[in-house]
Every structure is written in structure tokens, then in C-alpha cells.
Amino acid sequence: MGMIGGGPGAFIGPVHRIAAELDREIELVAGSFSSDADRSRQAGEIYRVDPKRAYPDLPSMLSGEAARDDGIDFVTIATPNHNHLSAASMALESGIAVLSDKPATATFGEAKTLAAIIQRSGCAYGLTYTYSGYPLVREARARIAAGALGTVRKVIVEYAQGWLAGAAAGKQAEWRTNPAQAGEGGAIADIGVHAFHLAEFVTGLNVTQLLADLAAVVPDRALDDDCQLLLRFDNGARGMLLASQIMIGERNALRLRVYGDKGALSWSQESPNCLTLNHADNRTELLQTGDATLGSDAGWASRMPGGHPEGYLEAFANLYRDFARQLRGESGSLLPGIEDGLRGMALIHLAVTASQEEAGWINFEV
């Protein structure tokens, strides 16, 4: 694979590299790591990529790799949001498959453009909603699909962070709070879309209506940092979504709770190897990654026996394994695609707009 972005100072670039290579199905062999040629070369050294394949820009990479027998099969996009569309388009139009960090693009309009390009290209496209890679997230999804909770009635999803509770400091904070780089959404785009995707992914339901209450709580912040949403799902279920980056003491607290008429379940990203099932008679059952009682999706997504904690990188790596399955034409992949990307971009756009306009309940349409 080749990487776009992920150069010096990036958080997510090295994560993509480790995740991609964890299972030895994929290797990072090229990159256009920065818009600055020198920095791209430096990054290449850090990633131990052949210097000839640390390209100064994306067109060079695409042409350089196309000229090789052992050229890349796909690119992974790890740039700030505003570059996602151009990078993905260029690759796809060269016939190169794309695995992109989320959100799909910087704006909803761009996402629609991208969807058309993907379709035209016939290339594979995946989106790394990381949390869908956790074994027990997939177990939760499978259990709900199999009816373990009965009809889903209520969904509560929270994504709480505290690192933007003060004025933004550092590269990571700065681009995320800058509309020119992040797009129209702040917390809703950075983490809200993860929460939204997780809720839909696990329940198998689609949001059809929402009511959004977003705010920029920290003084002088241009984008939202605290989001409260009410949701309606297509089966009539109700829900709440919280996404906030001002909740001091919270690190990366993505937590999902789903309640049906026969049972309930909850999962928390910071303790990802435990899934809690509640039965109607009040018995609580705890399942753990690696247990023999888990289904095949969770089994596939886990590398270790029970009690040997697997974490964020392993979940991320599962998305790469999914993408590899797709590229090999195998079935079973649960990797999110452009439809999920469109829904995420619609969420950002609709939530930001509806909140500004105090629009009350609006329809969620992609």
C-alpha cells in the first residue's frame, strides 16, 4: 500500500502503518507523506520505505508506482479532512483502490461527488470507522441481528473526550478546530460520526430523524466542541447521541448501549474486551474477547486467547484485513464504505445546519 499524508507530527499515520501491517497481509511500500517534499522524504525514512518511493506529491506516487511491476495495490488516506476528496479522486481515477480515514470528505457535497467517482472508477473504497473493527462490536452486531434483544427500542451512544476543554494547542488540536481544514463540523465531524456509525452498525438500523444541539463551548472556538442529538431510527426506536471534546477527564470514551424489548447490551471502547448482556429477568452476562461462546465474526476479529487484552491497533488492523478480503474478492468484510461515508457527511451537515437554525426535528436524508 501507499500512504497519503501521515507525515511528521501526525497521530493517525503511524497507526495506519501498524494496523495495515499487523497481520502481514499488507505492506507499506510507498508514500506521499506530506505536501512538503523534504518532509515526505523524512517520513519515508521513519517508515523505512525505500527512499525512491517516498514521493513529493500524490501524482508522482501514482505515476511512479504505476510504472513498477510491484507497484501499490491501494492507497490509504491519512490527511486532514479537506484533502480527502482530491486525494481519493486522484487515486481512484488512476484505478487505485482507496482506504480512507474518516470522515469521507470535508463536506457533504464533496461526499456525493466522491460517491459518483467511486462508482465510476469501479475501484474498492473503504472507510476506517475504527471502532467497527473491535471483536465485541461485531459480536454485538451479530447478536442483535440474530434477535437476542428482540426489537430495538432505545439506543444511547456517547463519545466523550476532554482534550479540547481548553484552548487548542498542538497540531492535532489546531486543524480539528479550524474550519478551513476540518470542514463545517468540529466534534460532530471528528468523533460524532464515529458514534453515529457505531450505533447504526451495531443495531442494523438507520437514523431517519434527528434533533441537534451543537455548541462551541470554549471561547473563540469556530467549530462545535459539544454536541447533543436526539435520534429516531427507522423501526421507531429512539436514541440519544452525545459527542463532546470538553468533558474533562474523559479520554476516548465511546460507549454504546442498546435496549430491546427482550434484552439489552452495552459496550465501552475503553474496556473493549468486555460486552455486557442484560436479560429481561435481570441477569447480567459478561462476555469477553476470546471466549468460545462468541460467534464467528468476533472470532475472526480476535488474535489472542481470552484475557490477553486486544486494543485499538488490533481493531484498526481488522479493517485492513477486511479491505484485504475485499481486494482478494473474498466475502465477509464488514468494512464501512462510501454509503457509510455519505451518511456520516450528511450527519455533519444536517446537525450543524439544524442546530444553527434551531430547526427542531429534521429528516435525515442522504
Tell which positions 142-171 bind a second copy, by CB under 8 A: 153-154, 156, 161-163, 165-166
- Asked if residue 270 binds a second copy (CB under 8 A), the reply is yes
Closer by beta carbon to a second copy, 88 or else 253: 253
Q: Which stretch binds a second copy (CB under 8 A): 61-69, 79-87, 106-114, 298-306?
A: 298-306
Closer by beta carbon to a second copy, 110 or else 314: 314
**Residue in the block written with cell 482530491:** 86
Closer by beta carbon to a second copy, 206 or else 235: 235
Whether a cis peptide bond, with omega within 30° of 0, leads into 103 is yes
- Give min distance, CB of 220 to a second copy, in A: 14
- Asked if residue 332 binds a second copy (CB under 8 A), the reply is no
Q: Where do the H-state alpha helices sit in the chain? A: 12-21, 37-47, 58-66, 84-93, 108-121, 135-145, 171-176, 179-182, 187, 193-203, 296-300, 312-327, 338-356
Q: Which of 234, 278, 300, 353 binds a second copy (CB under 8 A)?
A: 278
Tell which positions 57-116 bind a second copy, by CB under 8 A: none
Q: Say how far apart CA 255 and CA 195 lie, in whole Å.
A: 8
Tell which positions 167-226 bind a second copy, by CB under 8 A: 211, 213, 215, 217, 226
- Asked if residue 249 binds a second copy (CB under 8 A), the reply is yes
Please count the residues of the chain. Answer: 366
- Asked if residue 15 binds a second copy (CB under 8 A), the reply is yes
Start-to-end Cα distance in the chain: 31
- Asked if residue 328 binds a second copy (CB under 8 A), the reply is no
- Asked if residue 245 binds a second copy (CB under 8 A), the reply is no
Closer by beta carbon to a second copy, 44 or else 103: 44
State the burial class of residue 254 (Cβ atoms within 10 Å of its Cβ: 0-12, 13-18, 19+).
buried
Are β-strands 263-268 and 253-260 bridged in parallel, bridged antiparallel, or unpaired? Answer: antiparallel
Site string for a second copy, 18-47 (x = CB under 8 A): x--xxxx----------------------x
Contacts of 60 (CB under 8 A, 6+ apart): 32
